[in-house]
């Protein structure tokens, strides 16, 4: 059996070649039905040989998706659940689970939903040799190389699964159920795989199906059987707005001299003045005895003192605000002058004393401002040309001895540094090492590899939708080619030159 990749105008395919179909019912069952959990396939016969064409659009083989060691326990648990559901589904179609090609090259990860899809190939009797590389036991051993080294739970589950898979008499579902129960993951409700998929087409309860670009999605948390909803971007924006509002309120209180919310000091000032004025009205309209007169004088004194204190605070707050405003303006002006100076020094290094240049230019007062600026620039160039050339360090020289992709897309020129290889390029943050935010680019589009010297020597298409191009030729899905300086490389609609 041979595996190759092909494409037509609408789909990308993984093709199993050189199969002997015969009259086995499993071939018709597979090609005329689409069991959930299996890649959609079609059977084609050419010169008596059978070919199975599996559609792999928007999916990546596990070897490509997790080659950088990013398989966490969330994805591993999803893989185990999809295995269990698939075995139950195959029983309904009278298909054997041992005909699944368990291999990182034949188990596909859906980049949109996070689900896993499998390849089913009905081997004829006596073909045990061909299946040696596609057994469940060998697959669990290869899983160990994809684990996230910081995820202890994933390591515990994977090693336990590998241990159980070594027993020939154990079923896949039994091994999976044992691993999930020992990991403390709630078991299924008892429904068949087909029922669960029909009832929950977007995923099982408690399952994360939405992936936020740029972030790793944590698993749903369980509390007494209820699912705590994940944090979304809208929640983050709301919280962020609330924090900003609180900060603005705090700053407003501080700008009022520590008097609390905006407008508190003026209100208190008016209140104490009103008490003082009311006290004067009472003293003029009524005759007071000695005790009442003493109380009235105390109230009037306290009101007057508090009004004076609040008035002083208001004056100080106003002066502080004006001082801060002037300071901010001065700081902004200073930053603006610094930016202008930096912009000038980016192009010309003023190695001569600034005073000499200014003095020479001021002698040309009769000239225009443009002439004086041009003359100053010429003097700086003349002074710089007399300096000795600085020898670059080894690190600075080595920074230029690496491969780069230089874009050819006009105003939207994009340059990609290939200094750290292997490098995956795509539009999905968290899966791609370099993100190209273009709608023609796939989530994981292309991967570059090198010889260890900083030079990119190989390029592999990662089953991209719009294709990867080399010097005008479109690569086949998952095809790997050699590249060298001067090649033109296309990623979707974007074009680059390798230097």
153 pLDDT band, cuts 50/70/90, is very high
175-189 pLDDT, tens digit per residue, is 988 998 888 875 544
Q: Return d(Cα 66, Cα 107) in angstroms, integer.
A: 12
Q: Which residues contact 216 (CB under 8 A, 6 or more apart)?
A: 72, 430
pLDDT band at 210 (very low <50, low <70, confident <90, very high): very low
Task: Tally Cβ neighbours within 10 Å of residue 55.
Answer: 18
Instruction: Give the pLDDT confidence score for residue 256 in this predicted structure.
Output: 47
**CA 335/CA 127 separation, integer angstroms:** 76
Are the C-beta atoms of residues 161 and 140 closer than 8 Å to each other?
A: yes
Dist. CA 162–CA 142, nearest whole Å: 9
Cα separation, 484 vs 497, in Å, equals 10
Whether pLDDT at 124 is above 60: yes
Q: H or E stretch including 313?
A: helix 290-347
Q: Does residue 364 carry a pLDDT above 60?
A: no
pLDDT of residue 186: 59
pLDDT at 454: 72
What per-residue confidence (pLDDT) applies to 2? 83
Pure H helices in 54-199: 62-65, 73-92, 136-143, 152-165, 172-182, 193-199
Tokens 């620039």 belong to which residue? 377
Q: What pLDDT is stored for residue 334 in this prediction?
A: 62
Q: What is the pLDDT of residue 155?
A: 93
Give the pLDDT score at 116. 95
pLDDT band at 169 (very low <50, low <70, confident <90, very high): confident
CA triple 240-245-248, angle to 5 deg: 125
Longest C-alpha distance within the chain, in Å? 126
Question: How do residues 444-489 score in pLDDT, each as one tens digit?
Answer: 999 999 877 778 889 999 999 999 999 999 999 999 999 998 999 9
Q: What does the pLDDT average to over 183-201? A: 52
Residue whose structure tokens are 């390591």: 155
Confidence of residue 226 (pLDDT cuts 50, 70, 90): very low
CA distance 490 to 499: 14
Q: What average pLDDT score do residues 128-142 get? A: 82
| Mean pLDDT value of segment 377-402 | 62
CA atoms within 13 A on the CB side of 40: 7
DSSP secondary structure, 337-368, as one string:
HHHHHHHHHHH----S-HHHHHHHHHTTTTS-
> What element of type H or E holds 252?
helix 233-255
Distance (Å, rounded) from C-alpha 414 to C-alpha 169?
56
CA atoms within 13 A on the CB side of 336: 6
pLDDT of residue 183: 84
Residues 337-358, buried b or exposed e (16+ Cβ, 10 A)?
A: eeeeeeeeeeeeebeeeeeebe
- Ranges 223-232, 378-387, 445-454, 480-489, most confident: 480-489
What average pLDDT does this structure show over 11-15?
91
Residue 370 vs residue 193, higher pLDDT: 370
Q: How confident is the model at residue 31 (pLDDT cuts 50, 70, 90)?
A: confident
pLDDT given for residue 377 in this prediction: 67
Provide the whole-model pTM.
0.57
Distance CA 96, CA 335 (A): 72
Rounded Cα distance, 462 and 488, in Å: 18
Residue pair 254/324 in contact by the 8 Å Cβ criterion: no
Q: Is the confidence at residue 62, as pLDDT, over 90?
A: yes
User: What is the C-alpha separation between 187 and 205, in angstroms, rounded?
Assistant: 12
Q: What is the mean pLDDT of residues 431-444?
A: 91
- The set of residues, in sequence order, having a beta carbon less than 8 Å from that of 226 and lying 6+ positions away, is none
Long-range contacts of 393-402 (CB under 8 A, 24+ apart): 398/454, 401/454, 402/454, 402/455
**Mean pLDDT, residues 433-453 taken together:** 89
> Coil, helix or strand for 13?
strand
**Who has greater pLDDT, 202 or 403?**
403
CB 43 within 8 A of CB 21: yes
Give the mean pLDDT of the chain. Answer: 75
């Amino acid at each position: 059996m041979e595996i190759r990749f092909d494409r037509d105008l609408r789909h990308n395919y993984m093709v199993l070649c050189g199969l002997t179909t015969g009259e086995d019912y499993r071939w018709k069952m597979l090609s005329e039905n689409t069991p959930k959990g299996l890649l959609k396939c079609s059977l084609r016969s050419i010169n008596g040989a059978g070919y199975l064409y599996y559609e792999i659009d928007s999916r990546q083989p596990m070897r490509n998706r997790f080659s950088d060691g990013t398989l966490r326990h969330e994805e591993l648990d999803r893989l185990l659940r999809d295995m269990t559901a698939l075995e139950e589904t195959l029983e309904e179609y009278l298909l054997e689970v041992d005909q699944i090609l368990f291999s990182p090259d034949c188990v596909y990860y859906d980049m949109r939903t996070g689900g896993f899809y499998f390849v089913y190939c009905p081997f004829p009797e006596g073909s045990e040799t061909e299946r040696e590389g596609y057994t469940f036991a060998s697959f669990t051993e290869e899983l160990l190389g994809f684990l996230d080294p910081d995820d202890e739970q994933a390591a515990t589950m994977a090693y336990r699964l590998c241990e159980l898979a070594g027993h020939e008499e154990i079923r896949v579902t039994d091994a999976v159920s044992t691993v999930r129960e020992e990991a403390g993951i709630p078991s299924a409700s008892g429904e068949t795989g087909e029922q669960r998929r029909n009832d929950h087409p977007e995923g099982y309860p408690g399952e994360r199906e939405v992936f936020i670009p740029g972030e790793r999605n944590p698993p749903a948390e369980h509390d007494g059987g209820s699912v705590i909803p994940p944090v979304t971007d809208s929640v983050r924006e709301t919280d962020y707005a609330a924090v900003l509002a609180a900060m603005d309120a705090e700053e407003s209180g501080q700008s009022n001299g520590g008097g609390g919310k905006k407008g508190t000091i003026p209100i208190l000032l008016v209140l104490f003045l009103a008490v003082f004025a009311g006290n004067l009205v009472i003293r003029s309209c009524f005759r007071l005895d000695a005790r009442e007169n003493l109380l009235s004088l105390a109230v009037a004194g306290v009101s007057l003192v508090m009004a004076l204190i609040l008035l002083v605070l208001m004056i100080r707050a106003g002066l502080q605000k004006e001082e801060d405003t002037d300071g901010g303006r001065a700081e902004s002006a200073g930053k603006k002058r610094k930016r202008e100076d930096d912009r000038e020094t980016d192009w010309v290094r003023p190695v001569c004393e600034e005073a000499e240049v200014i003095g020479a230019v001021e002698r040309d007062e009769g000239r225009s401002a443009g002439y004086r600026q041009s003359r100053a620039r010429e003097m700086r160039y003349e002074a710089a040309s007399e300096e000795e050339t600085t020898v670059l360090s080894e690190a600075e020289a080595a920074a230029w001895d690496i491969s780069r992709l230089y874009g050819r897309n006009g105003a939207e020129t994009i340059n990609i540094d290939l200094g750290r290889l292997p490098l995956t390029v795509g539009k999905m943050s968290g899966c791609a090492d370099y993100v190209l935010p273009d709608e023609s680019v796939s989530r994981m589009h292309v991967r570059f590899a090198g010889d260890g010297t900083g030079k990119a020597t190989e390029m592999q298409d990662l089953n991209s939708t719009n294709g990867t191009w080399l010097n005008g030729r479109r690569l086949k899905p998952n095809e790997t080619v050699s590249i060298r300086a001067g090649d033109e490389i296309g990623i979707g609609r974007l074009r680059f030159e390798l230097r």
